[in-house]
Each structure stands twice: as C-alpha cells, then as structure tokens.
A and B are shown apart, each in its own frame.
Chain A
Amino acid sequence: MTKIIVDGAEVDVPAEYTILQACEAAGAEIPRFCYHERLSIAGNCRMCLVEVKGGPPKPVASCAMGVRDLRPGPNGEPPVVSTRSPMVKKAREGVMEFLLINHPLDCPICDQGGECDLQDQAMAYGVSGSRFHENKRAVEDKHIGPLVKTTMTRCIHCTRCVRFVTEVTGVAELGAIGRGEDMEITTYLESALSSELQGNVIDLCPVGALTSKPYAFQARPWELSKTESIDVMDALGSAIRVDARGREVMRILPRVNDEVNEEWISDKTRFVWDGLRAQRLDRPYVREGGRLRPASWPEALAKVAEKIKTTDKARIGAIVGDLAAAEEMFALKDLLSRLGVANIDARQDGAAIDPAAGRASYLFNPGIAGVDEADAILIVGSNPRLEAPVLNARIRRAWRQRGVRVGLIGERADLTYGAEHIGAGTDSLIELVEGKHSFARVLAGASRPLILIGAGALARPDGAAVLSAAARLAQGVEARAEGWNGLAVLHAAASRVGALDLGLVPGEGAKTAAEMAAPGGLDVAILLGADEIEVAPGAFVVYLGSHGDRGAHRADVILPGAAYTEKSGLYVNTEGRVQVANRATFPPGEAREDWAILRALSDQVGARLPYDSLAQLRAALVAAHPHFGAVDAVAAGDPADLSRLAQAGGALSGDVFLNAVSDFHLTNPIARASAIMAEMSALRQGSLAEAAE
C-alpha cells in the first residue's frame, strides 16, 4: 500500500494503482474518454490530466501513470495530486477544446445525445465557446456490418473499440489507419465485423461515432423506461437493462455484473429486441379443419380442459422449452402432478442429465467467475464462442493474460484463443482419462482444472457416460485445490438449470421428451414454449408460448404467453445462480403471463392451483425449493455428487461430438423472429460458404 494525497485528503492505495484509480479511491472524479477499466491503457485522449507534486512538472495523464512512479517529498511526504487546481482546470479546458475542434456539433441528430460522454464532459469541463473558425475535419462513414452504425466524423480516436475488439473479443478486425489528422478507425477494407460481441463497441464508444444501427433514430434515452432484467438468450443469464417506450422494447443494454457478464453482452442478447415485436401470438387460436382460427380465451381453455379430462393420464405429457421461467415450470409441474400426469420433460435436446445425480452433476460448478481462477481448461463438445460468447471472452482472457492452456475435444473451431485440438470424439476423452494424451499432463499438473462440457456432448445417447468420463477427469487430478469442483456444464438453454432444480424430468416409468414427441407417444402434448422439438402427428398439441414458431405451427390450440421481457420470473443460470428477470413491457394483445394461463387452465380441469398471484406462486416455489429464495446467490453443488458421477461410468459410443449451437443467431423462437438476427445469420452463413469455397 502506498500513501498519496489527493486534493488534500490522504488515501492509502495499492502501489500498482494508477493515479486515476487512486483519485477514484479518494472520491475525486476524473473525466476520461480513452481509459476503460477492462481494457488496456492507451493514454491518448488526455482528458484525465491532473497536477502532481512528485512527478513531472506538467499536467500528467493520470490513467497512464502509476502511483508508485511518483516521488515522495523531500521529507518523505506522500506525493500530492491535485484534481481541482487552476492548472488542471485549464488543461481540461484545453483538451476539451482540442477534442471539439473536429467534433461536429450535430448533437440534435446524434443517437448518442443524452448519454454521450463528450456531451456530458463538455458541459462539465469545457468552455462555452469555440475559437476555431476553420473547416472541421470530415471523415467518410464506414460500413462495418448490420449492427454497428458509424459516423466517423464524430470519432475522437480514443481507440476503445480497437482495444476491445482486439483484446476482449479476440477478433482483431478494427484498427486505426493513417495518422495524425488522417487517422481513421476502420476494418480492413471495410469488411463487416464478425465477432459475437461486437455490439459492445456501441456502449464503449464515448461519442456517437459507433451507434446501434437497428436502433438508429428510434428513441431518445430520456424517454425510455429502464428495467433491470436478465437475459435468456444463453444459459449465462447476463445482466441486462431493457429500455422500453410504451409497449415496445426499444433496446437492450448490459448491466455490470462481475460474477457473470462483467459488462459485456452478446449480439444476440443486445439485438434480439426486434424479435419481441414480430411473429407474436397475441390471441388464442384453435385448429379447425386443419387451419388455426382465432378464438377467445374461454373457448381455447375449455377445449384444452375437455381434451385433458377425457384423455388417459398416461397419454398426456408436457415438454418445457428453453426460455421458460421457474414460476411457470413450477406451476406446470404442480398442475400435472395434481392431474396425475408423470410425463414431463424439460430436456428437449435429450440431454442425459438427471437431477437425481445431484446438483453438482449439471452445474457449471467452478462458477463463471471461476474461469478466472482455472489454471487448465478442457472444452468437451462445445463451442463457447457460439454457446456463450461472454464466457468465451473470459476463457480468452485466462488464456491471454495468464497463459492458461486450453484443450478442445469436439468440432474444430476458431475460439479466438489458441485452443489445442485434442480430438473430435469420445476416444480422445478416454485417452485423457487414461492419461495417454500429452494434455492429460497439463490437467494433472493443474490445481484448478476446469472441464467444460457443452450441451452438445450430453445430448446424445451416451451423454451420461460422457458426463461420467468428464467427472473422472475433473476429479482424477491430484493437485486439486481445496473446494474446487472443476466439472463445468455449459448449458445452451436459459431454463435448463431451473427446470432440473425443479425436477422437470419424467418420473418412474414416464416418457422422456423424445419418447413423447415420437409417433404414438402421446394423445395430448402440452408444449411450454418448446420449439426445438417436433411432435409427431397424432397427438393433440397445446402450445403455450410467445412466438409463432415451430411449436405454434404444430399446435392444435395456441395459448399466447409472455416473452422474457414481459413477465417477472426467476431464472437459474448455468452456474446455478438464481436471478430475477423483471417485466419491462406488457404482453401484446390478449397474451397473458404463462403462469396465469396455467392457473386459469387448472380451474377448468378441476385441479385448481392454490396461488392467485405471482407472489403466492413464488412463495410456494420457494417453500418447495428453498434455494430459489436466495436471489443472486449460487447454491453450490455437493462435491460428493462428483465422485458418484465419476463412478457411474458407462459405455462411450465413439461418435464425434457435435456442438449444440451451429447457427449462433437463430437458437430460439425470439431470435428466429428477429429480422436483425436473420440478417446476421445470413451474413455469417454467407461468409462461411465463401470461406469454404
């Protein structure tokens, strides 16, 4: 720790702090453009100038100077930093004036207006007028894809976007060409950005140079209602803020949550909002003569109730989709058990996970933040870049900053870091378990090995054996640190861990999702937002969900539900963290919250669910499953489960691993309804096809 005096107040800060961090610790605000906590230090905007005694006799860029580089006074006094002296004021005004020389005064037509760092800081630290009468610099706009809109005349060359794209996403496509006044931020020959995290440059850009293309000229930040919520596009449960105007979600932004997404979100999370408006089921439908016709709620519910009442309970079943919140899953299970139906499954993809094996058998046990502690990482049957881009950025950081070795078993892919491809199938996994492969030594020498199992590796007939082999790998390491459980299951569905926690798997002798969907499997199938599975002809299908996707096309009765931004619900992410998604808007038309539909249905079938409000439902849920009560906390799995899992064994088929996600942009009904995602997907597939030629 080092002592330093900031504006007269002495503070004790770690020696590796920069002056800027020390000033923040002392409560002094330092304006900045290029500095960002999660990126490398560039020191090129000069906005953070401060005056120091014990350093150079000139204004010092506080972001780029370490506290330890300051000299003490002649009698050993701590170095003195002043952030409010006349010299600092003059320096800031000077820098601001220079920045504004070439910055256009187009705030009224700029999408950044109202949330612009330059605008705010010009108000706080600038002067009122300009002494610059010459022509301003003009720069041609760049076309860097359908997501990021550029107005490069506004660029102040902070290079945050360049550093983010290079360091965090690992797809170094942005750069600064030319120099001096001719410097321009661009991609190589203006090719489109290809990272799954590119949307974050919009947030990083302190001015309006990089803005959201789909959101362009849609709304002003001050007219939006902001709701803190949780993302469901992947199983990470990134913290998001949903900005809505009236009934429409206008945009989605990340919130800071160091435990999960830090402050990044994937492009699917950010730009899926137009999918919330399209293809919506806004009224009940009933199929008559092969065609769906609009119906009223009583009619639709009566039809479903009649079907359920007249059908043998062993011939009824429910399949739960990937975006369902815990409340409706709990209500559905409750309803079915009241009816005496045991056929229920939340594993549309047929993942061989059984909650009976213990919670540790299906969680990302080390925790998402645990990636920062892992000292060897093995990825089995997954492409984290597509299945959880934000997590992939964390793995990349471990590889880049700490030199953690990463092994990959499964499909070859550009993961943005140097993953050693060990093999494609289970044979390589066995080699590792038996210690025959060179990477086994890496794992054995690690005290915190992380074995990441993708959803694709489990959703296969020998999935249980794969999981067992992975558990053996995670366990068989001698140097394992105390309390470290390295088995990390990366789910692809946001609802999956919650569903497994609630026990939404078929009971004794009951049918799995695949059996239910098979021809002759069921007479009545209830799909709670299940769109990734095709129910064979013959069954009467009730679809309860928000979007007209595969499930709705197959349905005989459609009960319109709410999307994730339209209901308050609990979601459990892949590491077992219980999080609350809040309602930002109301469901469209006659659509209702899913649990309320189930409650209404329960009345009609004569098995009334004993909760009349979401609060009561949640209370019942927490009473039955206490860990759901601890929001934002992770109830850790029992390490003993790991040993049992490791002993389970099983025969491996020898097949190659296939990833759960092949088309990043189209993994769920909301994304498939989104025109932006469709465009991105087409672009991606097009570039893949081009690369293959």
Chain B
Amino acid sequence: MSVRRLAEVQPADFEFTQDNLQWAEGQIAKYPEGRQASAVIPLLWKAQEQHDGWLPEPAIRRVAEMLGMPVIRVMEVATFYTMFNLKPVGEHFVQLCGTTPCALRGAERLKDVCRKLIGEQNHVTADGKLSWLEVECLGACANAPMVQINFDYYEDLSPESFEALLEDLRAGRAVTTGSQTGRSCSAPFGGDTSLTDESLYDGSVVGGWKSRFSEEAKVDAAEAGAAAKPAEAARPEAKAAGSKPDADAQPADAKPAVAERPADRSRREGQPYLGSGASAPAKPGDKEA
C-alpha cells in the first residue's frame, strides 16, 4: 500500500448536489442525537462518488462541518481507508485484486496488462480514462482473477480478455460485467456437473411443497371475501401476519432497495449497466463536456 496523502492540486470548493445532500441528511438521521459522526464514511463515500471518484480536501472539510466533527478526525478516516481515493483517478478506475486466490489464478499477469496499458499504480492515463490500483480481496475468489472497475466486477479474466476490456472501456464501447467467460455467477466451467436432473427444477421433486402456499392463499382470499369487509380494512396487517408472515412481507420491503441500485450505479457515467438491460453504449463525450 502506498502512502496516502492529499493531492497537491485541489478544487477550490466542494458542495454536495441537492440529491446527494438529501441522501446525506437521510444517512445522518439514521443515528441518534450526538452520534452523527457515525455517518462519516457514507458521506465521504458519497462525496467521492460525486467528485469523479476521488475525495478532494474541501469535501473533507465540508463533511466535518456537516457532522460537527473536528476536521482532523475526518481526515484520519479519509486517509485510513483505502477505498477513499485522495488523488484523481481515471474515468474507469480499476481495482485489481492481488490477494492469494487471484494471484494463483494469474493476477500478476493482469498487473502486467495494467502496467502496459495504463502505467504504474495511481497513475491516470493522459486521456483521463484509466487508472489502476492493486487492492486486497474483493470477495469473488471463485471467479478469480478479477477486477472491480468503478462499481462493477469483471471476473474470470485472462490477460487477453482484460486487455480487450480495458480497450473497450477506453473507447467507450459496451462491455459485459461479471464473468468474462460467459458462465453464470460462479457456476462450473463447461456447464453443470451435478444436480443436472431436469426434474429437480420443474417442481415435481424439489420445491413441490411451495405450491401449498399459493393454494392456501387462494382459499384465504375466498374466505376473506365472504367475511365482513370493514373489519379487515381496519386491520390490514392481520391477514398477512396470520397466514404467511415472511413470504409476503419480505419482497415488499426489499423491492425499493432493488429499485434504487440501478440509479446509484448510473451516477458513474460511461458505464453501461447490462444487468438491468441497459445496453446503450456509454457516451464518451459526457466527461469532457
């Protein structure tokens, strides 16, 4: 890990955008009175996201001001965690995992690719498109070697595919996130080797019991329709709590969170998000404009 200090050239000022300010206030409100300092990492993270992937000095001051912290305390946090970039990074910031599993699977050769295409660590290419940093384990060891570029993982890389990936990013072409060899998640190479029996998935052997819920729900709905409607309206939660506590409640809660994610990701421009079907190529002109 290199010495992490503030960049020499700093912007004059930093101000959160209105959206991010609202988001920040939501984060601060999570913590009880007098414990607002707990929001320091989320706020710094948001500031970094807003400021082209690196954290300028005015942002540190601004966050300290927002949280009523001594500015040196925020500085300590910002310089401690390697996820905060204190110097400018490329538009596509490559975090290359160099920990053991990836190293065994060829991360060293990926580093050579980085050195060839980008230069040394923390060096931003002249066109401002790329920079890279070796990081510790990113938790995708089954798909080693891998890199994280901005908010997406690119797994199962080979020097060739990685080089092509970087060239595509630099040129603003669409790229595929996740595994670069086409496998799904961390499924075995060359197709499944076990649990291949089709009947496992058609509901006839495993999971057949699940159909009980939908049948019960139908019965419930029929009964409820017959019962007195005003009583039910007064306690709308009674039915859900009585019949199937988790199955209904869980997805309802989880949905907004899922819906937010694409919005978050799209803040980093020039990054097609294929997972949600957005396959439009990035607009390279955005950044310069």
Q: Residues of A with Cβ closer than 8 Å to B? A: 166, 172-180, 182, 186-189
Contact = CB atoms under 8 A, between A and B. Distances in A.
Contact of A175 (B1, B4, B76): B76
B4 A172 contact: no
B76 A177 contact: yes
Interface string B111-144: 0000000000000000000000000000000000
B71 interface: yes
B79 A172 contact: no
Contacts of A186: 72
Nearest to A182: B3
A663 to B, nearest CB: 25
Interface in B196-231: none
Contacts of B1: 180, 182
B3 A175 contact: no
11 contacts: A175-B70, A177-B5, A177-B72, A178-B3, A179-B79, A180-B1, A182-B1, A186-B72, A188-B70, A188-B72, A188-B75
A178 B80 CA distance: 5
B76 A172 contact: no
Contact of B70 (A172, A176, A177, A182): A172
Contacts of A174: 72
Contact of B73 (A175, A179, A180, A189): A175
Nearest to A171: B70
A173 B70 CA distance: 7
A179 B75 CA distance: 12
A175 B75 CA distance: 8
Contacts of A182: 1, 3-4
Nearest to B64: A188
B80 A175 contact: no
A179 to B, nearest CB: 5
A173 B4 CA distance: 20
Contact of B79 (A173, A177, A187, A189): A177
Interface string B38-73: 000000000000000000010000000000001111
Interface of B: 1, 3-6, 57, 70-73, 75-76, 79-80
B3 A187 contact: no
A269 to B, nearest CB: 26
Given A178-B79, A188-B70, 15 more contacts: A166-B70, A173-B70, A175-B72, A175-B75, A177-B5, A177-B72, A177-B76, A177-B79, A178-B3, A178-B4, A178-B5, A182-B4, A188-B71, A188-B75, A189-B6
Nearest to A166: B70
B71 to A, nearest CB: 5
A650 B70 CA distance: 45
B71 A179 contact: no
A188 B65 CA distance: 14
B72 A179 contact: no
B65 to A, nearest CB: 13
Nearest to A174: B72
B1 to A, nearest CB: 7
A403 to B, nearest CB: 11
Contacts of B70: 166, 172-173, 175, 188
Nearest to A177: B79
Closest 3 CB pairs of A and B: A175-B72, A172-B70, A177-B79
A174 B72 CA distance: 7
A175 B77 CA distance: 10
Nearest to A170: B70
Nearest to A180: B1
B80 A173 contact: no
A526 B276 CA distance: 91
Contact of B72 (A173, A178, A180): A173
A360 to B, nearest CB: 38
Contacts of B73: 172, 175
B3 A176 contact: no
Contacts of B5: 177-178
Contacts of A188: 70-72, 75
A179 B4 CA distance: 9
Contacts of B75: 175, 177, 188
Contacts of A179: 79-80
A182 B6 CA distance: 13
A182 B72 CA distance: 16
B238 to A, nearest CB: 45
A180 B79 CA distance: 11
Interface centre among A173, A175, A180, A187 (most CB of B within 10 A): A175
Contacts of B72: 172-175, 177, 186-188
Contacts of A178: 3-5, 79-80
A172 B70 CA distance: 6
B262 to A, nearest CB: 34
B4 to A, nearest CB: 6
Contacts of B6: 189
A180 B1 CA distance: 9
B24 to A, nearest CB: 21
Contacts of B3: 178, 182
